[in-house]
Amino acid sequence: MRVGERRRLTLMLKTDAPLGMVVARLRFDPRRISVRSVAAGGMFAPGKAQPTVTHSIDGSGVLLVSIAPPAGGNPLTGVGALLTIDVEGVAAGESAFAFDTNEVHLIASDGRGITAKYTQSRLTVKQ
């Protein structure tokens, strides 16, 4: 990506466990990229009740995000795009866009334990 260019990142989910909530902290270099928006991904049918997505971004390069099914809705389950995150290149260089491994919480609505598997990403911004 180039300085000033925007890209859409997709956080994919694959689970057979019924999730009542997903909470994750991601880290990035705020000198290289800026998070512009966070929204529910395409795994949720348009026109139906949408999940609740909340997020906060701090100046040190931390994105904290949570997503939960709508009140009275079905738990999150299946395969698809859980979240979309729009980022913009702000200066040349590399940045991780990575899960904070101690701060990823998948909470099953039936109480079972869940082990998360995920991959880390890197973004390169060019002039």
For the entire predicted model, the pTM comes to 0.91
Q: What digits encode the pLDDT tens for the residues 88-126?
A: 999 999 999 999 989 999 999 999 999 888 888 999 999
Domain boundaries, the chain: 6-109
Q: What digits encode the pLDDT tens for the residues 10-25?
A: 999 999 999 999 999 9
Q: What digits encode the pLDDT tens for the residues 30-88?
A: 999 999 999 999 888 777 788 999 999 999 999 999 999 988 888 999 999 999 999 99
Residue 20, both tokens: 């009542």
* Residue with token string 């997503």: 67
**How far is Cα 66 from Cα 42, in angstroms, rounded to an integer?**
16
Distance of CA 4 to the CA centre of its chain: 21
Beta strands in the chain (DSSP E): 6-28, 33-40, 52-58, 62-68, 76-89, 93-108, 121-125
In this structure, whether the domain defined by 6-109 belongs to CATH 2.60.15.10 is answered with no
CA-based nearest residue to 126, from 79, 90, 96: 90
What pLDDT, on the 0 to 100 scale, is given for residue 68? 95
What pLDDT, on the 0 to 100 scale, is given for residue 105? 94
